[in-house]
Amino acid sequence: MTKRIDYDKKETCFQALKVKGTIIAGAAAAGVSPQTILDEMKRSALFERKVREAQELGRQGVGDTAVENIIDLASEGNKDVRSRLTANIAIANWAVSGFRGTTQVAGKIVHEIKVRTGIPRPKYDVTIEPTEEDKETLKKLNEGKPIKRIDEKKEEE
């Protein structure tokens, strides 16, 4: 087992838990590993109860902030906020008990990809001369005569 945590580190951990709501954040603020926090919770029922209470307060605060952000982003009506809206819904699902939000993409998503290069692209002369068969087909089409389709030609051969 790891060393015991002193009073000041515990208080620092509680304060961080009340703000962030996660044991990782509390451990980072106290300067210890998350495993040390978990070990101390196993040793002391009082410490565990205080950690759980601080976690719940932190989650409620994070959840309240996420719900406020959802309301603000949804009222904007801007399509550029979808990713932030989805992230805030995920946070609210984690933090707020009873909140079950989902997102549905209703609009068209456009992905623009631009390639920039410093080398000018060569201009290729792409001209394809029609074959004799193509010339005959074009002549028949222009005259309005029926032509054989490609799949019909394959069957004959």
In a domain, 126, yes or no: no
pLDDT of residue 35: 92
In a domain, 111, yes or no: no
Q: Kindly give, in sequence order, each residue whose CB lies less than 8 Å from that of residue 106, ignoring residues fewer than 6 positions away.
A: none
Stretch 97-102: mean pLDDT, rounded? 72
pLDDT of residue 28: 92
pLDDT of residue 154: 52
CA 154 to chain centre: 50
pLDDT > 60? residue 6: yes
How many domains are there within the chain? 1
DSSP one-letter string for 144-155: T-----HHHHHH
Residue pair 58/92 in contact by the 8 Å Cβ criterion: no
> Distance between CA 74 and CA 67 in Å, rounded?
10
Segment 24-60, tens digit of pLDDT: 999 999 999 999 999 999 998 999 999 999 988 888 8
Domain with 33, as residue range(s), is: 7-95
In a domain, 122, yes or no: no
pLDDT of residue 50: 92
Q: What DSSP character marks residue 32?
A: S
pLDDT > 70? residue 117: no
In a domain, 19, yes or no: yes
pLDDT of residue 77: 67
In a domain, 100, yes or no: no
Tokens representing 94 are: 């984690």
